[in-house]
Amino acid sequence: MKKRFPHKDKVLLVNITRLGDMLQATPTVAGMKLENPNCKISVVVEKQFESVCRLIPHIDEVISIDLSMTVRALTREGEGIVDAYEYLSDFVNELRSRKFDYCLNMSSSAYTAMLLQLVGIKRNGGWTSDEEGYRVIESEWARLFATSVFHQNRQFNSLNLVDVFRCSADVERHPDHLVIDVPEKDMEYARQMLADAKFTNRGPIISIQAGASQGKRQWAPENFVKLINLLLNKLHARVVLIGSAKEMNIIQPIKDGCNSENVFVAAGKTDIAQLAGILKQSSLLITGDTGPMHIAAAVKTPVLSMFLASAFGYETGPYGKDNLVLQPIIGCGPCNPNKSCARPDCHFHLEAEAVAALTEMRLNGPVHSIPENLVDPRKVIVFNTCFDQYGFYHQTHLTPAKYDQLDPYRTAYRKLWLDDLGGYDVGTSGSGSLLRTAPDLGNDLTKVIDCANEGVRLIGELERLVKDIASPPLLLGKVNDELTELDRQIEQVGYHIPWLGPLTRMFVFAKENISGTEALELASQMAGVYSDLGRRCRKLGTYLNN
């Protein structure tokens, strides 16, 4: 694997605001220690996640920042702003005093980027900011992260963000699951809680996380009731409803709807470690794309996960082997995570009976095939999770792949990035013959290649003019205008032809990261960006064609 900074000494991980993100970083943390056994890893997190970080092995130091307090101070206005300013100054000084030699900012937020500019760490794997306050993404893998979550590009990505994080940090060796330590006292708490639940059934313990971060990603309570009743009747299951106290408005109707002593509500009664204890003792977790899904993956409890609305299994699926991922097929999905949905039709693509059947299958062991009529393959794809030969998370179709129309693109892109960014030899065997069967696609790709070539030519012209002091400034301006127009065209291709979006967006991010003041130096960087674009186009063509 190509690495930018193979050796690391004092590492700062910035992963501030989401529990899931923190857990998804655990293979990176573990891998970093595997490859740099003597490095010291510090992590900056929001204060409320401090305790979670202490459950993660290999973290040497947890530095918490109290953002809620900071925002409260800012809301006070007046001297509150100075309070926040002083708090930040102290925090920055604290970080500076550690003299970190490497930083991986796993958050794409503008403020973490600005924080790292303030701290001034020279080597970065993720987002940072330049002196003018613009965001900078130095690592190509981190740019791929930004590219993959941009606009419609998500549907063409098959790399799990855990691996993209990991590669941003140059980590190759890593565990094939998320990692968390559950202290014995929390295990005991969970054991006692389950004992006190007084189940009358003797079947498997199945945990269910019904709540989700967004309403549109939350399967309806009546579906869960139906599912649970099936599990109770067929499997004599012991069902544990997990979640936070805030989710009781979802959980209580489910409990009431089932009306069974074999449905126990643990929601609101556990902290993260205790929840991990419950999950560790469960035979399976049924969930959406949630924090508990990652905890289950970390304690190696099998997961059946429904990726509704904006959730996309490839991107954030349960990082581990032999979990089941259900991805509805719908024209609008995966949808924009920042938009609400008044009519979540994707929910109707999943049926309780099918989920119950899959649950039963998975309880019996890893699932490598499913009955043909279990689900409608035009409405839902069922995946089994696995790892490819390079150690990257992957999903295997359990429903016929032919219904997954974008699969050839994802496969081609996967090879492209592993090859071009990772330096892996993925061979030339491709995913089909798309370009041969659809010549328009080839033409589109050729257009971008032509643009890239034109860019290289114009840069050459620009360099010649810069070196020639007698050249008229007007000519220089003309070339510059042509380059601007060319860049606009390339960017627009990504909007007009969605499957080219990942290529052009990588180009845009690369261009934004060009830095320096010397004209020739800038031109040289720019030439590299055009030639990267051309090369990647050609490679993508190969992988789509073979």
460: which 2 tokens?
């050459």
- Asked if 67 is part of the footprint of another protein (rule: CB under 8 A), the reply reads yes
Applying CB under 8 A, the span of 179-187, 195-203, 213-221, 470-478 interacting with another protein comes to 213-221
8 Å CB contact between 309 and 321: no
| Residue 213 contacts another protein per CB under 8 A | yes
3-state secondary structure 335-399: CCCCCCCCCCHHHHHCCHHHHHHHHHHHHCCCCCCCCCCCCCCCCEEEEEEEECCCCCEEEEECC
Q: Check residue 79 for interaction with another protein (CB under 8 A).
A: yes
In this structure, what are the phi and psi dihedrals at residue 286, rounded to the nearest 5 degrees?
A: -105, 125
- As given in the structure block, the two tokens for residue 509 are 């991010």
Q: Closest approach of Cβ 460 to another protein, in Å? A: 30
147, 160, 168, 214: which one binds another protein (CB under 8 A): 214
Shortest distance, position 453 Cβ to another protein, whole Å: 33
- Does residue 68 touch another protein according to CB under 8 A? yes
Alpha carbons 132 and 114: distance in angstroms, whole number: 10
Rounded Cα distance, 65 and 49, in Å: 10
Q: Does 93 sit near another protein (CB under 8 A)?
A: no
Neighbours of 86 (CB within 10 A): 11
Closest residue by Cα to residue 480 from 496, 466, 499: 466
Rounded least distance, CB 465 to another protein, Å: 26
- Per-residue contact track with another protein, 307 to 346, x per CB under 8 A? -------------------------------x-x------
Q: Which of 34, 58, 63, 111 binds another protein (CB under 8 A)?
A: 111
Q: Which is nearer to another protein, 72 or 151 (CB)?
A: 72
Q: Is 517 in the site for another protein (CB under 8 A)?
A: no
- By CB under 8 A, residue 109 contacts another protein: yes
Contact call for residue 114 and another protein (CB under 8 A): yes
The binder of another protein chosen from 39, 118, 386, 519 (CB under 8 A): 118
Write the CB contacts of 195 (distance below 8 Å, at least 6 apart in sequence). none
**Beta carbons within 8 Å of 386's beta carbon, 6+ residues apart:** 321, 322, 393, 394, 395, 396
Task: State yes or no: residue 429 binds another protein (CB under 8 A).
Answer: no
Taking Cα atoms as reference points, which of 118, 124, 106, 116 lies closest to residue 16?
A: 106
d(CA 254, CA 251) in angstroms, rounded, equals 5
State in angstroms the smallest separation of the CB of 395 from another protein: 26
Applying the rule CB under 8 A, the residues between 370 and 409 that interact with another protein are none
Question: By C-alpha distance, which of 371, 348, 346, 345 is closest to 358?
Answer: 371
User: Based on CB atoms, which residue is closest to another protein, 129 or 327?
Assistant: 129
Q: Near another protein by CB under 8 A, which window of 115-123, 349-357, 471-479, 489-497?
A: 115-123
**Least distance from another protein to the Cβ atom of residue 94, Å:** 14
Stretch that binds another protein, among 2-10, 67-75, 93-101, 419-427 (CB under 8 A): 67-75
User: For residues 177 and 131, what is the distance between their CA atoms, to the nearest angstrom?
Assistant: 38
Is residue 87 within 8 Å of 78, Cβ to Cβ?
Answer: no
**Closer residue to another protein, CB minimum distance, 109 or 546:** 109
Interface positions with another protein (CB under 8 A): 17, 67-68, 70-71, 74-75, 77-79, 81-86, 88-89, 92, 109-111, 114-115, 117-118, 131-133, 213-216, 338, 340
